[in-house]
Structure 1
Amino acid sequence: MKRQSVQSPARRSSRASLARRYTGPVELDRLDRDIIAALVDDARATYAEIGHQVGLSASAVKRRVDRLLDSGAITGFSAIVSPQALGWTTEAYVELFCQGKTKPSDIALAVAKFPEVVGAATITGEADALLHIRATDVRHVERVIERIAAQSFVVRTKSSIVLSRLVDAPPGVVRNGSDTTS
């Protein structure tokens, strides 16, 4: 039987612990940020492996990860599957222009029904919302946009197909030697 301190955070997390909600800004010190970076890199790393990377004992890492989970700074652990592996090789961003005072919650309820919509946000500017769509091909994107445009509150849409991803990283990850915390 493995000792708790050797197991990875991803393997030890229960559904109850992952159901915590973000409660506001959390004070993160350099060690917390280093632990989070290690988990982003490999959520299956053991507490001992993370401890070796950041200069802490496995039990100290476990306590910090538990605190980060309790505070909502870490909301869960999951497998990140390549959309291409699932055949979803085409992506688009679609601006939604809505009637009158359409509530964001109404937009969210409507677009959440589409499995192709992998992200949605209200935005500033002329459009009311921006959708991120993944699909098998351009024709599939077109069919999804047609179904979305048929929603009663949608006046029009404006879409852009992604040609290539230039940067695709989680927030706060240092890239090209730049420090995002200064």
Structure 2
Amino acid sequence: MDNLDHGIIDLLRLNARAGYGDIGDVIGLSASAVKRRVDRLVGDGVIRGFTIQVDPAVDGLATEAYVELFCRGTVAPDELKRILLDVPEVVDAGTVTGSADAIVHMRSRDIASLEVALEKLRLAPNVDHTRSAIVLSRLIHRQHD
């Protein structure tokens, strides 16, 4: 990848619907040269797809929380993943350093449905307890996928 490829990716991150000609005007290539590069970036797996981002509130998922998950003993990441996949309110999760075993990003309709989802997590085998922080306002959100 060179600087032109990075420029194309940066512009597509801002607007995945940008036309090849518009991108080319910014980075100094013809529309057909931009298309060839985009096709190569897709073929090489650098660009994984083109999508839209919808405000979660539109889907009725306005309540958001970050949850620390604490397990009893040692639990393999694959087991944590299995537990978390059973809870549809979990939108993102990862194992972490520190006292918690994982950090979980959850979205739900409201506080009551968040509480039900949290209880489902707490009842899962190997889960000792959780510690939650409900998001009051989002300050920054950057997509890096």
TM-score range, shorter chain: over 0.9
Equivalent pairs, count: 145
In the other structure, the counterpart of 1:130 is: 103
Does residue 70 of the first structure (1) align with residue 35 of the second (2)?
A: no
Q: Tell me, in whole angstroms, the C-alpha distance in 2 between the residues paired with 1:103 and 1:135.
A: 27
In the other structure, the counterpart of 1:169 is: 142
Q: Aligned with 2:49: secondary structure?
A: coil
Question: Which structure ranks higher in relative contact order (CA pairs < 8 Å, sequence separation ≥ 6)?
Answer: 2
Identity %: 48
In structure 1, runs of 5+ residues without a counterpart are 1-27, 172-182
Match of 1:36 among 9, 18, 39: 9
In the other structure, the counterpart of 1:180 is: none
Q: Within 5 Å, give how 1:31-180 maps onto structure 2.
A: 31-171=4-144
Q: Please, which moves more after superposition, 65-74 or 138-147?
A: 65-74
Measured after TM superposition, the shift of residue 86 of structure 1 is 1.1
Which consecutive aligned stretches of 4+ in structure 1 deviate over 6 angstroms post-superposition?
none
Measured after TM superposition, the shift of residue 170 of structure 1 is 2.3
Q: Aligned with 1:61: secondary structure?
A: helix
Q: Tell me, in whole angstroms, the C-alpha distance in 2 between the residues paired with 1:109 and 1:46.
A: 41
Q: CA RMSD in A?
A: 1.6
Q: Tell me, in whole angstroms, the C-alpha distance in 2 between the residues paired with 1:153 and 1:71.
A: 40
Q: Tell me, in whole angstroms, the C-alpha distance in 1 between the residues paired with 2:130 and 2:104.
A: 10
In structure 2, runs of 5+ residues without a counterpart are none
Measured after TM superposition, the shift of residue 136 of structure 1 is 1.1
Measured after TM superposition, the shift of residue 99 of structure 1 is 2.0
